[in-house]
Structure 1
Amino acid sequence: MLLAIGVNASAADQRAAPESGRLQTILTINAQAPIADLNRATDSLKAQFELHPDYSVGKMFYGYGQLFIATDFLKKKNYLRAAEASKLGFFYIDEAAETDDGDWRLRFLRARMDAFVPASNGRCVVAIKDTDYLQQSTSLPAPLRPMVTLMSARALDTCKQQEKAAAAWTALGKQGEEGQRLLALRNQPAPAWAPAELSLVIRPLAEGAL
């Protein structure tokens, strides 16, 4: 059974959000809002990218929303609907990331989901590919590098690449205060979005022109 473990937006992130309809829709999904709000947000994003097929971030967070909806179905033991929503979610996440595979922000967002889902989803291979790309990218801002190392370590662990995973955990501990903070979350669910992720990844994409 496919089950997504989500990435939470902190309350501070949501309070700091500008009055942007598209950004607020994305933050609603990020916060794993109640199912009625999730459904409204995903419907809104779908309407936007149907009108604007190149609206990749809309597809990305539509995919996120479908995975959170799948989790709700799974809690209700509606396994068929959970599997359908999960399949749809990963389809749109991949479509968004692969529309322009040179866009580091979209690759970051795909890894941000894939690195933390259960092994049964089989997404760790994709996460390793994306984090390898990000680590080699000169465009990736320095404040995001510890998170990329965390995602890499988690994906390598999930894929049972223990030697590489151990090296990634060691590297994370050497990446300053943020690296130490994230290392302390080693065995926890996906961490809440950091301010740097909101300002350097989500806002630029959400506020870009359709």
Structure 2
Amino acid sequence: MRLNHRLSCALSLLVLFSAQAEKNRVPPAVENIIQHQFPVNRAELQRVTETLFTEYQQQKNVTSLMFYAYGTLKLAAQRAEENDMIGAAEYARAGFFWLDEAAERNETDARVRYLRARIDAFLPASAGRCVIALSDTQFILNSAQTFPQALRSKVKYMRYRALVSCGQEAHAHALLNQLKQESPRLTALALAPDATPDWDISEATQIVLPLAEGK
């Protein structure tokens, strides 16, 4: 997760207050990522990622499994940057397997589907994940779980990007026009076509932390 310094500080306070109110509810490895982000150093990233999986096995908190998948995909990206394509493919395969496993084990939870779509929607078309992102975003928009308007706008933007990747240009164009009318201040609308939006405080407080706390 890419979190700027201000957001990291805010999240640190949120986790602190949450821990005071509901002691030991947030899994420690997840809390560490929320506060400090994933490390860049490969050895440290490997260690943190493995810790997340161990944490999931012990506590069965879906956020630990999702973050484990995120960490594994980051390891894949590092291998790709080093031209270790075999290693990159192995990590990517494992990362997507666990990403899907987490979503399928919690398929009726729109927040978990959001966390999967948050990755898949912004991958290049060659990754072949746009159909999954379309399914997840449609589920979220139709879900009985109520998301605030700001988060729904983010979901629609993810859906727009997935439509583009899937080659559904007419539907993508129509949804983009709808977004510009409904949410003209949505920061993602100003991004380059291949850019990924930074995570923001609403995603942390309304998606990640409630899941981590088992709510």
TM range (shorter): 0.7 to 0.9
Q: Aligned runs of 1:68-147 on 2, under 5 Å?
A: 68-139=74-145, 140-147=147-154
With over 3 angstroms needed to count, the CA separation of the structure-2 counterparts of 1:49 and 1:23, relative to structure 1, is closer
Instruction: Flag the structure with more relative contact order, 1 or 2, with Cα contacts below 8 A and sequence separation at least 6.
Output: 1
Task: Give 1:203's match in structure 2, choosing from 185, 206, 209.
Answer: 209
Q: Deviations over 1:39-98 (max 9, x none)?
A: 12211111111223x322111111111111101001111111100000000001001111
For residue 4 of structure 2, what is the amino acid of its counterpart?
Answer: S
Counting matched residue pairs gives 201
Is 2:160 the partner of 1:150? no
Q: Is the 8 A contact 2:121 2:162 kept in 1?
A: yes
Structure 1 residues 194 and 50, CA gap change in structure 2 (3 angstroms) = same
Distance 1:30 1:178 in 2: 27
5+ residue gaps, structure 2, are 17-25
Q: Secondary structure at the match of 2:196?
A: coil
CA offset at residue 119 of structure 1? 1.3
Q: TM-score of the superposition, structure 1-length normalised?
A: 0.87
User: Quick one: distance in 2 between partners of 1:28 and 1:84?
Assistant: 28
Aligned equivalent of 2:8: 14
Report if the CA contact (8 A) 1:25-1:41 is conserved.
no
Displacement, 1:192? 0.7
Q: Distance in 2 between matches of 1:25 and 1:107?
A: 22
Between the two proteins, what is the percent identity of the paired residues?
Answer: 35
Q: From 179, 187, 191, give the equivalent of 2:193.
A: 187
CA RMSD in angstroms, aligned pairs only: 2.0
CA contact (8 A) 1:96 1:106 kept: yes
For residue 34 of structure 1, report the CA deviation from its aligned partner: 2.9
* Pair 1:34 & 2:28 matched: no
State the match for 1:166 in structure 2: 173
Give 1:38 deviation, angstroms.
1.7
SS at match of 1:174: helix
User: Partner of 1:25 in structure 2?
Assistant: 32
Letter in 1 for 2:171: K
Letter of the aligned partner of 1:67 in structure 2? L
Unaligned runs of 5+ in 1: 1-6
The residue type paired with residue 120 of structure 1 is S
* Cα distance in 2 for residues equivalent to 1:178 and 1:107: 25
Q: CA deviation at 1:131?
A: 0.6
Q: Give the CA deviation at 1:129.
A: 0.3
Q: CA 1:25/1:91 → structure 2, altered by over 3 Å: closer, same or farther?
A: farther
Cα deviation digits, residues 162-206 of structure 1 (max 9, x gap): 111011111211233543x22112524211111110110111112
Q: Distance in 1 between matches of 2:117 and 2:92?
A: 16
Residue 35 of structure 1, CA deviation = 2.2
Where does residue 55 of structure 2 map in the other structure?
48
One-letter amino acid matched to 2:108: G
Among 182, 185, 193, which residue is 1:175 paired with? 182
- Find the aligned partners of 1:28 and 1:38 in 2 and give their Cα distance: 15
Q: 1:28 to 1:85 in 2, by over 3 A?
A: farther
- Whichever residue aligns with residue 63 of structure 2, its letter is V
Q: Which residue of 2 aligns with 1:4?
A: none
**For each residue in 1:98-139, what CA deviation from the matched residue of structure 2 results, as whole angstroms up to 9, or x when unmatched?**
102110110000000000111111000000000111111242
